[in-house]
Amino acid sequence: MDSTEIDRIATTKNERRQWAADNDWRYRDEAPELLDRWEVKPFTEPSDDRIAFGVVAGKAHGVEFTVFDYHHHSRKNGYQVDTAWVVPLGVEVPRFQIFKDGEVNFQDVKAGTSPAPILDRYLRYDYRIALTDSEIARWVLTPQVLEIMVEHRIHNWALSGSDLVCTRHPILKRIKPKKILKVIGGLSALRFALSHVTDDKGR
């Protein structure tokens, strides 16, 4: 790991530590147990130098949340950092993942995925789904869910176990607390819109 990556990680840790303290939230520098908790991209992609760092957990916008940065290295993309948000749903749900086709921070968007069966009038991007089939995808992706994806720019998200998981690749060096909180607000709305999934978990 080069000095630029080391400095970026240290800066993020310091910023998140202070942010958590200001809001009476919990903070951890690193949490290695999070690396393999969710079987969704990008965590399942072959990589090394994997670190879950800058971990903040608390409650905002009416939901419990955990947010952290996922540092990893691959031969194709080099060093990458993705910010991950996790919101518990309270019940086990069918596995599902959707993300933009051509997502640059995923090593192979087509491996184990298929085009998402969604309505073009809601989304201007092409999407792919993973971990599920088109029938489940149509059931999950109601018009309300699609509208929230557009409004809050939630392009890459998944259902894994009993959690709603969202990842985003920062254009600049890191995603700052104000933006992190804004995404939590969007995930709170998405969690509510997914009530048909959590109420019918036995489908």
Is residue 92 over pLDDT 50? yes
Alpha carbons 190 and 198: distance in angstroms, whole number: 12
133 pLDDT band, cuts 50/70/90, is confident
Are residues 15 and 177 in contact, defined by beta-carbon separation less than 8 angstroms?
A: yes
Burial 182-200 (b: 16+ CB within 10 A, else e): ebbebbbbbbebbeebbee
Question: Can you tell me the mean pLDDT for 140-146?
Answer: 90
The structure's pTM equals 0.88
Give the per-residue pLDDT at 185.
97
pLDDT (tens digit, 9 = 90+) per residue, 34-49?
999 999 888 888 788 8
Give the per-residue pLDDT at 132.
79
* Cross-strand partners of 57: 26, 66
Number of domains present in the structure of the chain: 1
52 pLDDT band, cuts 50/70/90, is very high
Is residue 110 over pLDDT 60? no
Give the per-residue pLDDT at 4.
76
* Cross-strand partners of 85: 67, 166
Supply the range of the domain harboring residue 121. 3-199
- The larger pLDDT score, comparing residue 96 to residue 113, is at 96
Place of tokens 């995603």: 175
Name which of 195, 180, 106, 120 is nearest 150 in CA terms: 120
